[in-house]
Amino acid sequence: MKQNFIQNIICIRLHLVFLKNKWRKIHSASSIKMSEHNSNSNQSTNNKEEIRKLKILAFHGYRQNGTVFRNKIGSFRKVVSKYAQLTFISAPHKVFNEDGGGEEDSRSWWFNAEDNTFSGKCLGGPAIGFEDSLHLIENVVGEHGPFDGFMGFSQGACLVGLLAAMQQKGYLPYTFKFAIFASGFRSGSLVHKSFYDEDIHIRSLHVYGESDSIIPKEMSESLINLFTKPVVAEHSGGHYVACSGSIKDAYLDFFHDRYQDLIEGMQRRNS
C-alpha cells in the first residue's frame, strides 16, 4: 500500500508540473506571436530553416560529471561529429566518500540507498533527489534546447530510459525523438517501477559489453525489451562507451538515419 501511495504521489506531482509548464508555454507563445506580428509584419513568411547538426544532450554515469564524461568519450565525439553536436551537463548531487570528502566533483543523478549512494543492481530502494534532476534537465532543455536526442552512459543511460518512459506517458514538458544507451539498465527504485509498464516507441540505439560486471548484459537487455524499435550493438568489453569496429559502424548508421530524418523533416516544413 505504501509503495503504491508513493508512486501515485510521484505521478500526480509530475502531471501537475507538466500542466503548469504547458500553460506557461501557451501563454508565452501567444505573447511572442503577437510581438513578432507587430514588429515583423513586413518580413517574408517564407523563411527557410537552415540545415543543422543533430542536437544531443549527454548524461554521464555515477561518480562522473559532464566534463569527465566528455573527456572519456573523445573517440565517440569524433565519430559522430559529422552529424551531431553534443551538450554535456553534470548531475545536481555531489557524491561523498565515507570520510565525508568528495572525489573530483563526483556526481549522481539520484541515490537509491539511504546513505546517499547508488548501485545499478539495487532493487527496491528509494530515488533520493530524482526530482532535482528532472528540474535541472527541464531548465537545460529550456535554455539550450530543444534537443533531437538524449544519450547516456550507465546511470545516465538509466536516466535516459526513465525520461523516454515518462515521455511515452506524457509526463514531460519537452520532447526528444531518439535515445542512445551505453550500458543502460532499468532503475530498481520503487517509485520508478510504474514507468516501465508500457512499450516505448522512440528510436533507440543500445550498446553494451558482454563482459560488463557492473551492469551485466542481462540488465541492459531488460531495458532493451521495453523499446519497439531498438538497434542493438554488443561488444566484447566491459563497462565503458565502446567506439571501434562494428560499434563505430553502428553509431554511424544510426546517426546517419537520424540525420536523414532531420533533413526530411526540415524539407517538409520548408515546402
Known catalytic residues are 154, 212, 239
H/E stretch holding 152 reads strand 149-153
* Neighbouring-strand partners of residue 107: 64, 94
Q: Which residues pair with 96 in a beta bridge?
A: 102
Concatenating the DSSP letter of every residue in 171-239 gives: --SS--SEEEEES------GGGGGGGSS-B-SEEEEEEETT-SSS-HHHHHHHHTTBSSEEEEEESS-S
Peptide bond into 146 cis (omega under 30): yes
Residue 266 CA to residue 260 CA, distance in Å, equals 10
CB 94 within 8 A of CB 66: no
List residues bridging with 150 in a β-sheet: 57, 179
Task: Name the strand (E) or helix (H) holding 150.
Answer: strand 149-153
Cα–Cα distance for residue pair 238/215, rounded to 1 Å: 9
Cα gap 133→175, rounded to integer Å: 16
